[in-house]
Chain A
Amino acid sequence: MTAEFGSFALVLAFALSLAQAGLSAGGRWRGSAALSGAGEGAAAGAFLCTAVAFFCLMYAFVTSDFSVANVAQNSHTAKPLFYKITGVWGSHEGSMLLWCLALTGYGAAMALAGGGLPARLKSSAVAVQGGLGVLFLGYTVFASNPLMRLADPPVEGRSLNPLLQDPYLAIHPPFLYAGYVGMSVVFSLALAALIEGRVDAAWARWVRPWALAAWSLLTIGIMLGSFWSYYVLGWGGWWAWDPVENASFMPWLAATALLHSATVTEKRGALAGWTVFLGLVAFTFSMLGAFLVRSGVLTSVHAFAIDPARGILLLIILGVAAGAGFAVFAWRAPSLAPGGLFAPISREGALVLNNLFIAAATAAVLFGTLFPLIRQALSGDAVSVGAPYFNRTFAPIMAAVLVILPIAPLMPWKRADLKGAVQRLGVAAGLALATAGLSFVLARPGQAVTAAGLALGVWVIAGTATELVQRARGGGAGAGEIWRRLRSLPRGAWGMSLAHLGLGLFILGAAMETSGRVEAAKVLGLGDSMTVAGYRMSLDKVGDVDGANYTAQRASLAVVRNGAPVCQAAPERRFYPASQQTTSRVTICVQGLSDLYVVLGEPRAGGAGQPAWLIRAYWNPWVRLIFLGPLVMAVGGGVSLSDRRLRFGVPRRAAAAPTPAAVPEPAE
């Protein structure tokens, strides 16, 4: 019964989305508050119904109801409860339902919390969001219903791919989808603003919180996925420029560009058309990602042929939504009022440069991801575009972004003195150059790319710190006064600094890890030992372990450095009988910011017929920064989001006395 109830709720959600689009659009054209209000109610109803359908599917997973086709294909009675729950979004159908849940959730949030929006803009935006809901809920209901029954239920399910039975991977889709789909609100607001023909500072201020929230969640989602591949794939790769990774990275890049250009629109009223364009692009990339990942068109050309109907349906949805968005943009954008003037050397100018380079870097990712498809369609040649291409195009372009990053916040709006800004960064530049020199001569002799990477990381971190201190130090204030002023800086400023700091940390970690990783592999019998980066590990024993739904071999290695015990490594090789797959469970000994990464490989014949195992170990210096950096960036997004100036429903020209968080920045 539950599955049928869920199916019914899903169809009802589809109908309510139709009503949301129709009523809100009607409310907008007739100027009727009643119709608009009904549209908002429908938005809330669509969310409730989607949530009911979602929990019905979850119930079917938890109770192992194998008469539901999706559960039979993706679950198993022996699977731990946690993975039964996360199995809900482990399949195509379930993940599209999660997508719809996020989409209607954002729609309801915008309808209920967007109190500060002008009525017409809000009605238009709710209508557009309803239209998106119609497209995706329609797809779920008619082409990918996860609640379909089987006529002939099996006794046991086929289980979830063991690689996916991992806590980090299990929780990363909700973050990722909340991020992807958060861009839908920006898309709706952008389209609504074009329809209303007005894009101004107030509009940018309404968009920013949604863009910030989506960007922060997407940052966490991508970081979790990266961390998962780091420790689950068994060799420590955290980013492979795989099409699926690129699909998640493109909306992130577009959102990053959007946050920066929206600042210009908010503070100076300029770049309005470009900001709106980015708002449309960000969600288009989200949909493109869903299409690329879910149709299988890129990882394997054949997956598309196996299920052409769904791939083509997703492509049609992408075409309809993005096509409508960009058509309205082409029609209305030329009539947008031009914003404030600025000189080329100004904060606006620096942010334009930032957007130019990020757009080019995004183009590199987009072309690199799609080029094999394009080339195959045009000439029939199969080509690959892998990491070496992205390292040679994306990396240098982003390096340019990093060079201008610390300079921009030190430049005033409208017209700036570049020399003055650069002079104030003297210390940061000195530190960066010293880092490059030390790295090139001593630490990693002759490795120019590493030296450049480390120098850029130091430049960004030191430059960000400089900006904070400069903001607080005006007028020769003492240490206590600086501290007081730092604490009273707007949270938006702190958010920006934290995000930039996180980026710098990430760059440092990435530069260190890629150049400094040490690898060792050796066949060890019991009692044998090997050494990697000064850490000596000896194989004490290898035993069998029975897990909930797997059997495993677990090795035990004592790790010693300079005679002092460091940790006991217990890597496993797990075998999942339900799916006949073997996976590796690595042990990571965390040493400060660096990791000692130990993998148990296959059994080998040792000397004198004794059993032996292939053990691989990696020393990954500063690898923690690669995951800590994005976390700091997301925290920065959250801090900025908590700035009361950005909250919804804050009446414009509030009569209330400014709180400390809203005190204007101190004069310099």
Chain B
Amino acid sequence: MSPRRWLAIAGAVFCLAGAAADPADQLKNPAQEAHARMLFREIRCVVCQSESIDESDADLARDLRQLVRQRVAAGASDADIKAYLVSRYGEFVLLQPRFSPGNAALWLAPFLVVVLGAGVVLARRRPAAPETDELSEPEKARLAALTDN
């Protein structure tokens, strides 16, 4: 292969993911490295389509990883690191939206559906089932019709 082709290959590497594990970048302290990796999964690569910086190989993702690693190594808290990233890139950078009034609808919606749905089911309950297990004559006829074929 000619050197030019090598250059072309090196230049075209943008969609290959899984870059966070690059040994050249990792922190010496395995506990800190593991913690940084956990944080990577909650931070969006803001120039990618919908990837976390743990997955993306974009230059920006790499810069963000180094930034997070440095801050983790310096002992910064998760909240501080995220607040710093939000101040630079906006809330868009967080893959897990914050619990804020603006996001209340998002976080509450699924659980509201459970509560409201349960309310509707209870409200629509018709009188309790008859006490007997015996089928009435029309029911028996209907059962026979349904199970016949």
Taking Cβ atoms with an 8 Å cutoff, the residues of A that contact B are 163, 201, 233-237, 240, 242-243, 299-300, 338, 341-344, 346, 352, 356-357, 359-361, 363-364, 367-368, 371, 374-375, 379, 381-389, 392-394, 397, 414-415, 519-523, 544, 551, 573, 575, 580-584, 599, 601-604, 614, 616, 645, 650-654, 664
Contact = CB atoms under 8 A, between A and B. Distances in A.
B146 A520 contact: no
Given A388-B95, A582-B16, A341 B126 contact: yes
Most buried by B among A235, A364, A383: A383
B137 interface: no
B30 to A, nearest CB: 12
A300 B105 CA distance: 23
B93 A650 contact: no
B44 interface: yes
A383 B105 contact: no
Contacts of A581: 12, 15
Interface string B88-102: 001111111100001
Contact of A299 (B50, B92, B93): B50
Contacts of B31: none
Interface in B95-146: 95-97, 102-103, 105-107, 109-111, 113-114, 117-118, 121, 125-130, 133, 145-146
20 contacts: A342-B129, A356-B117, A367-B109, A368-B106, A371-B105, A381-B90, A382-B90, A383-B102, A386-B44, A387-B41, A388-B41, A389-B95, A415-B133, A575-B9, A582-B12, A603-B6, A614-B22, A645-B149, A650-B149, A654-B148
A385 B95 contact: yes
A299 B133 CA distance: 56
A294 to B, nearest CB: 15
Nearest to B49: A299
A371 B91 CA distance: 13
Contacts of A604: 24
Contacts of B92: 382-384
A584 B92 CA distance: 29
B9 A573 contact: yes
Contacts of B52: 386-387
B23 to A, nearest CB: 5
Contacts of B10: 602-603
Interface string B16-31: 1110011110000000
B9 A521 contact: no
Given A388-B42, A415-B129, A360 B117 contact: yes
A357 B114 CA distance: 7
8 smallest CB-CB distances across A and B, nearest first, come from A386-B95, A235-B18, A388-B96, A364-B110, A521-B21, A360-B113, A382-B92, A654-B149
Contacts of B42: 386, 388
B1 A544 contact: yes
Given A389-B97, A651-B149, A363 B109 contact: yes
A520 B23 CA distance: 9
Given A363-B113, A375-B102, A387-B52, A235 B17 contact: yes
A8 B42 CA distance: 51
Given A344-B125, A582-B16, A616-B18, A364 B95 contact: no
A356 B105 contact: no
Given A234-B17, A387-B95, A343 B129 contact: yes
A338 B12 contact: no
A447 B10 CA distance: 40
A261 B136 CA distance: 25
B4 to A, nearest CB: 12
Contacts of B121: 352, 356
